[in-house]
Structure 1
Amino acid sequence: MASPGSKKLVAADGSDEKLSGNLGRDSDSGSSSRSSGVEGGTFEYFGWVYHLGANKIGHEYCHLRFLFIRGKYVEMYKRDPHENPDIKPIRRGVIGPTMMVEEMGRRKVNQRDVYVIRFYNRLDETRKGEIACPTAGEALKWVEAFDEAKQQAEYALSRGGSARTKLNMEANIDLEGHRPRVRRYAFGLKKLIRIGQGPETLLRQSSTLVNDARGDGFYEGGDNGDAIEAHEWKCVRTINGVRIFEDVANFKAGRGVLVKAVAVAEASADAVFEVISKLDKRQRYEWDTVTGDSELIDSYEGHYDVVYCVYDPKYLSRWQSKRDFVFSRQWVRGQDGTYTILQFPAVHKKRPPKSGYRRTNITPSTWEIRNLKKRTDAEPPSCLVTHMLEIHSKRWFKWKRTSYSKFEKTIPYALLLQVAGLKEYIGANPAFKYETSATVVESKLSDVPNGVSDVPNGEYVDEEMEEQFYDATDSSSDEEESDEDDDEEDKKEIKVKLKNVSWAIASLSLKRPKAPGASNVLDASVDPVNIDPSQFQGSLRKGNGDKDSNCWNSPSGMGFMIRGKTYLKDNAKVMGGEPLLTLISVDWLKVDKAVDNIGLHPKCLVQSEPGKKLPFILVISLQVPSKPNYCLVLYYAADRPVSESSSLGKFVNGSDSYRDARFKLIPSIVQGYWMVKRAVGTKACLLGKAVTCRYLRKDNFLEIDVDIGSSAVARSVIGLVLGYVTSLIVDLAILIEGKEETDLPEYVLGTVRLNRIELDSAVSFEV
């Protein structure tokens, strides 16, 4: 049987070469190079997955199927075709530009937790289907594999000829239905059994402790993101190899202190996440002193669940009665593979307080699990585990100074020591240490001959797209390190203990530099026009400072770290400069449903007389799912036309897939509840890979409609943000990711600061 997630590269002469370790990675030098097979062969990815769906009579099923990706084609088998060379695929199709792939998170299927991937056609969402994997890490690798297949399809289209001829297939792969009503057992696997009249279930052989989830080793360590944060962490104690830190920059008397426990675990982030998220008490008893007997009460959208726990705290406190508590867990995975888990105290109607138990509210906390970069492929995977919480008790300070023993019998202290228990548990299990590296899908548009990235969008439109495998993944895989950690060293440290970092930087009397790398973006041969912001009035007013509320401002880009000139060689990032485009107006709208193409509305700023005189306007519409729905529209203007040969010119006039692969946003919660800060993070995000983006290029403007509701993870995070939005100051920076040396250094395209936005102030918008 082929192992799940195997990859190989089929050469042009028909021979095949098994790839081990990181795809395209030089094991001697540690450098990475593109070897996806676009030029000399065909990329392949194959392995066992669960196929989820319902048959014609409405019964749900969960079948074990062998999925095989060959180039841009995808096939599904009942048996491994390597062991059964004469077997025919039961489903077959081709990946096209309008196919979308979305990670749906964790779901319980037939008493087993699996991680679901949904496929759908963004032009026709009724055409959809689902597969699932046993771990989150495997699900991520399959998504990356589909991205690579999408890259192959785009390259095939770029070489000329008829798209109809290239993508015509004899059958469309249909994951939604199941043809036969008779259920069959997979050959030689003993995986499927019948449970009464209900759906089939999989009794897969017990996997290792890591469930074959493997780290890729491409990610950097450290806590730094792409936005500068005003934290000053001081190590106050080391216990069993775990460092205990206190945030001394943001402490306020009477409001508690933010602390965290940090340790290195000898396993991949995928494996550690699986250990933390599992509620099996036998495994939990080996490392967790807080959560004992646990039960999953409810689960929502795959990334949010509610857990009930019972434990006997005699060894923790003076209370003799048993205690229980209910808490919610919300988890997200960044594009760099970093996991963030948010844990809040919760109330649920299924578990009211009961006699004989003292109901306790668990302390809010967050987990962050980040892969560390490996020096060689032979080195075992490791990750940095951080557990953060806010402690309000004065016992913290007594313990910090004198090892106050009573604090060591509290739940907050036990939560901090969860990291130590996790570290020791993983170290005691060889399955984690000898975990092998998984292959990593890596593809760079810049390496493709004849410039796939420059193919006009119109070449992807063809009637034959109707016959594709959901026309998937409109986001190119590109390079995996799209938002890796900022590992720039030897930067001068500005020690200013102010909560508002951007204001702190501006107050240092530093000259705000011009955006690096932006000198040739606008056409220098044309005289600039005068941009008068007073001519453009949006529904959200411009503020008079950070103390103002329900308003916007445009801060400097100095609060963000962007790719420098030598980034492709040393991953060095530099401080951003002044934004290239001017933010002239912001609309805060309330809508019944998501609205696209706002720039075409007669009352839109773009259609006004002053707007038509501007050389170029970038319109970004952030569609916020809620009840009601909201829409935040940002208008950025250029005082000269955009140079077509620049990175911005290629973005404005390029294909949708090119834009998806380069449209980057860096968020930063400047002021607000620390849990919201951890949920949002400070890492750059390629929006086209995270959510659905639609583009409209007309006249003198480009509009980008960002559908935040298209992703379950994004919906979950935005729901948390909206709950605290009236107390938040949020900075956003938009830029075009530099993937080639000619596009570096990056420059900040535009910024916006949103000061304590009030939901009720949104203006109703009618189409």
Structure 2
Amino acid sequence: MSSSNGNRTTATSSSSMEGWLYLIRCNRFGLQFSRKRYFVLDHHLLRSFKSIPNSTDQDPVRSAIVDSCIRVMDNGRESINRKVFFIFTLYNTSNHNDQLKLGASRPEEAARWIQCFHEASLKGAPEDIGCSKRRWQSFSLSGSSSRNHQNSIDWTLSSSDVIAPSPWTIFGCQNGLRLFKEAKDRVSGGKKRDDHPAIMAVGVVDGTSEAIFQTLMALGSSRSEWDFCFSKGSVVEHLDGHTDIIHKQLYSDWLPWGMKRRDLLLRRYWRREDDGTYVILYHSVFHKKCPRQKGYVRACLKSGGYVISPANMGKQSVVKHMLAIDWKCWRSYLKSSSAYSITIQMLGRVAALRELFRARLGNCTLSDYSSGELTRNRRNSLKEEYANSDTQIQANERNPDNSIEEVDPTQSEHVGLVSLNDADDEFYDVMEPSNCDESENGWMTECSHQKSQEIRHQKLSSAANFVRKLHDLAVHKRGYVDLQEVVGEESTTCPYGSTLPKDPTCTLPCSLTEADPSTFLIRGENYLEDRLKVKAKGTLMQMVAADWLRSEKREDDLGGRPGSIVQKYAAQGGPEFFFIINIQVPGSTTYSLALYYMMNTPLEDAPLLESFIKGDDAFRNSRFKLIPYISKGSWIVKQSVGKKACLVGQALEINYFQGKNYLELGIDIGSSTVARGVVNLVLGYLNHLVIEMAFLIQGNTREELPEFLLGTCRLNHLDASKSVCLMP
């Protein structure tokens, strides 16, 4: 049991839970509001009450059945009338308008509810439900029926399913923090030179990962209790529940003498892992709503962020803070070694964060220091020196837009940031009594149902135009590429299965080959007893072809198109069977990466694969698994992708297309805000990455173990400009 802000949440089993949640609805003006309700999930039965029920026989306001057709979408963090909610949506895969939007006051509560709904969906609902007093309704308005699949999500404690060397080397310890630097790939003649290397500080903080995450996400005056670099902060644009654009202004007190104040314009992305780890990632962007500020030099954060992992039964957390930043210094007065030391000093915020939580445990109040009195005297004494130094530097700078003028002394003080999302007029948030009463017996009002369709359409539209919206957000770093900036080639006819070349040597840009299977860990023969994973020894199928395509629409069923490699083998009447994985990235231009795997042996020789091919979509969604790995690339991309196996069908929409000699999986990346955030980040660095993936079907019973890999792939520096444009 856990409680926060008066909310009680109790988990009794993996698929049973009860507690307070908020129904998120729209009023007749299209503005969102919340209604607090007590929800009880008992395996596949979901009930809603206005108050905590006194007995199990109490009639609910509303009830529903959570079966295998129900999905849960993590919508992330959202502010509604100045209250922050962590939103998730339940919807039916056969009817996306049949949905229920809920909010929790804490991310851990939302994560536990999402996990329980996942488990309930995987277990499905029994065909006959006995209930004497009430008629249980399916979550779907039209009803749904499916077979009962007794499966479970892989909630193993392993943080990685990939065997890979660590790219970090320790080089020192300061303020109780271990300091690491990222090793660079060697080239002929020595190491690559990098004037702005990636540095990471690691420390242990006496707090839960959730509390630390909330502290790091705050941009208000409370941040001055630990962040000695921070002056002001604001949210420039909210992209979705997991991504936004933020602006930070930094003090100059902690910078070297004579150095101007810096500011940062960042794209911030966050997510929560299954084990309670929180990941916050940043990188610099341009944005028309936030031009360069007078009196500030805009630094460039190439990559950076935090990884907060729970430790000691969740009572403590290991905090990793990484920065690779260009301070935009003139080397005539500040050498690269000094910039290196500035980055190390900024990483010292982890030590300040540690002391903040230590003080909280000791019931020490920091209100006397929250407005910066500890550094104010020093700042006032050095203010005149900074002004004189800035005047000298101004004459030597090349860009007059970055020059500093005389600054109002009050701007140097810690200023509390008022929330940018002001509350709407209360008149618009009040529902008419008749509307409220009529809607109590339904999940949504009629207005809310209509608005949900509009919102769903807007979400699909925003997913389709997500990359276009980022057109003006080119990352201020060398090598960043926005797909929308790629000049399109003329449409050509496509020989499906031959648009992406294979290169076993991995030296040809924009090519692929098969990855080493032993890099990946899979469930061993005794996994149900010892929970141990073993190295994969090989693959069941061989990768024979690949496509790298772009189009104005989603391209489905590539295996069934005339002239494809699949149809050529089908015409010969051979025993070959194809397993096609079509990864679709939506946008104003949709990109498709299709991987063709083939086997010559009969399907009967692989019973689990045969069950997958002949099974229904619910069974397939509960078993198809992907293991990702960025073997070469930026730290921010490696952290965003991770190295943990994922049941793809539980997070993304998969459309299945089947022919006599093939099964194709169309994976829609745009169906999840979390996945969209990760993929759009990856796309910006695409031609600088080496991406490895392994695909398999999860084994849940003794007869299905050990697992086996269907196939692997290694993508070498993909280039969007080299994708083949399909004719409309």
- TM-score, normalised to structure 2, is 0.71
Partner of 1:561: 521
Q: Decide which of 730, 738, 752 is 2:691's aligned counterpart.
A: 730
Give the AA of the match of 1:95. V
Structure 1 contact 45–68 (Cα < 8 Å) conserved:
yes
Give the AA of the match of 2:656. Y
Once the two structures are superposed, the pairs formed by residues 489-528 of structure 1 within 5 Å of their partners are none
Partner of 1:427: 358
Aligned pair 1:622/2:583, yes or no?
Answer: yes
Partners of 1:163 and 1:603 in 2: how far apart? 54
Partners of 2:194 and 2:715 in 1: how far apart? 25
Structure 2 contact 122–622 (Cα < 8 Å) conserved:
no
Partner of 1:242: 177
Partner of 2:168: 233
Change (3 A) 1:258 1:575: farther
Partner of 2:505: 545
Give the AA of the match of 1:583. M
Once the two structures are superposed, the pairs formed by residues 449-464 of structure 1 within 5 Å of their partners are none
Change (3 A) 1:266 1:653: farther
Once the two structures are superposed, the pairs formed by residues 175-574 of structure 1 within 5 Å of their partners are 220=157, 225-248=160-183, 250=185, 252-256=191-195, 257-282=197-222, 284-319=223-258, 322-362=261-301, 364-372=303-311, 379=313, 381-390=315-324, 410=342, 412-430=343-361, 537-574=497-534
Give the AA of the match of 1:423. R
Partners of 1:170 and 1:718 in 2: how far apart? 37
Partners of 1:536 and 1:293 in 2: how far apart? 53
Give the AA of the match of 1:126. N
- Compute the RMSD of aligned alpha carbons: 3.6
Give the AA of the match of 1:707. D
Structure 1 contact 236–246 (Cα < 8 Å) conserved:
yes
Shift in Å, 1:656: 2.5
Shift in Å, 1:666: 1.2
Partners of 2:357 and 2:327 in 1: how far apart? 31
Shift in Å, 1:48: 1.2
Change (3 A) 1:766 1:468: farther
Three-state SS of the structure 1 residue aligned to 2:289 is: coil
Partners of 2:298 and 2:325 in 1: how far apart? 19
Change (3 A) 1:537 1:704: closer
Aligned pair 1:101/2:72, yes or no?
Answer: yes
Partners of 2:322 and 2:316 in 1: how far apart? 20
Structure 1 portions without partners, runs of 5+: 9-18, 24-35, 37-42, 175-217, 396-403, 434-466, 471-534
Shift in Å, 1:232: 4.4
Q: State the Cα deviation string for residues 404-462 of structure 1 (Å, max 9, x = none).
A: 9956862x1233212222222223323999xxxxxxxxxxxxxxxxxxxxxxxxxxxxx
Partner of 1:443: none
Shift in Å, 1:761: 2.9
Aligned pair 1:613/2:548, yes or no?
Answer: no
Structure 1 contact 281–294 (Cα < 8 Å) conserved:
no
Partners of 1:616 and 1:163 in 2: how far apart? 44
Shift in Å, 1:665: 0.9
Q: State the Cα deviation string for residues 298-330 of structure 1 (Å, max 9, x = none).
A: 211111112222332223321365443322211
Structure 2 contact 561–567 (Cα < 8 Å) conserved:
yes
Give the AA of the match of 2:220. D
Three-state SS of the structure 2 residue aligned to 1:568 is: helix
Partners of 1:610 and 1:332 in 2: how far apart? 44
Shift in Å, 1:220: 4.5
Structure 2 contact 161–522 (Cα < 8 Å) conserved:
yes
Partners of 1:129 and 1:667 in 2: how far apart? 31
Partners of 2:46 and 2:363 in 1: how far apart? 32
Q: State the Cα deviation string for residues 113-156 of structure 1 (Å, max 9, x = none).
A: 221112222222222331111222211111112123224534x1
Structure 2 contact 626–696 (Cα < 8 Å) conserved:
yes
Structure 2 contact 627–693 (Cα < 8 Å) conserved:
yes
Structure 1 contact 555–751 (Cα < 8 Å) conserved:
yes
Shift in Å, 1:170: 5.2
Aligned pair 1:45/2:17, yes or no?
Answer: yes
Three-state SS of the structure 2 residue aligned to 1:580 is: coil
Shift in Å, 1:98: 2.3
Partners of 1:381 and 1:113 in 2: how far apart? 24
Shift in Å, 1:393: 9.1
Give the AA of the match of 1:274. Q
Q: Decide which of 702, 710, 713 is 1:749's aligned counterpart.
A: 710
Three-state SS of the structure 1 residue aligned to 2:508 is: coil
Structure 1 contact 667–684 (Cα < 8 Å) conserved:
yes
Three-state SS of the structure 2 residue aligned to 1:643 is: helix
Three-state SS of the structure 2 residue aligned to 1:292 is: strand
Give the AA of the match of 1:592. E
Partner of 1:187: none
Partner of 2:45: 73
Partner of 1:761: 722
Partners of 2:443 and 2:81 in 1: how far apart? 31
Partner of 1:478: none
Partners of 2:563 and 2:235 in 1: how far apart? 50
Give the AA of the match of 1:75. R
Partners of 1:273 and 1:325 in 2: how far apart? 20
Change (3 A) 1:574 1:547: same
Partner of 1:192: none
Partners of 2:62 and 2:363 in 1: how far apart? 36
Structure 2 portions without partners, runs of 5+: 142-154, 330-335, 365-441, 450-494
Aligned pair 1:717/2:651, yes or no?
Answer: no
Three-state SS of the structure 2 residue aligned to 1:63 is: strand
Give the AA of the match of 2:705. L
Partners of 2:315 and 2:251 in 1: how far apart? 36
Three-state SS of the structure 1 residue aligned to 2:603 is: coil
Give the AA of the match of 1:7. T
Identity of aligned residues (%): 30
Three-state SS of the structure 2 residue aligned to 1:585 is: strand
Shift in Å, 1:655: 3.4
Change (3 A) 1:61 1:407: closer
Partners of 2:10 and 2:520 in 1: how far apart? 37
Change (3 A) 1:674 1:85: closer
Change (3 A) 1:603 1:241: same
Change (3 A) 1:407 1:604: closer
Shift in Å, 1:362: 4.5
Three-state SS of the structure 1 residue aligned to 2:283 is: strand
Three-state SS of the structure 1 residue aligned to 2:227 is: coil
- TM-score, normalised to structure 1, is 0.68
Return 656-665 or 567-576, whichever deviates more: 567-576
Give the AA of the match of 2:176. G
Structure 1 contact 219–371 (Cα < 8 Å) conserved:
no
Aligned residues: 574
Partner of 1:169: 136
Shift in Å, 1:353: 2.8
Q: State the Cα deviation string for residues 343-382 of structure 1 (Å, max 9, x = none).
A: 112333333233344443346312112233x5xxxx5533
Q: State the Cα deviation string for residues 12-36 of structure 1 (Å, max 9, x = none).
A: xxxxxxx4xxx4xxxxxxxxxxxx5
Partners of 1:583 and 1:424 in 2: how far apart? 53
Structure 1 contact 538–586 (Cα < 8 Å) conserved:
yes
Structure 2 contact 496–564 (Cα < 8 Å) conserved:
no
Partners of 2:538 and 2:173 in 1: how far apart? 42
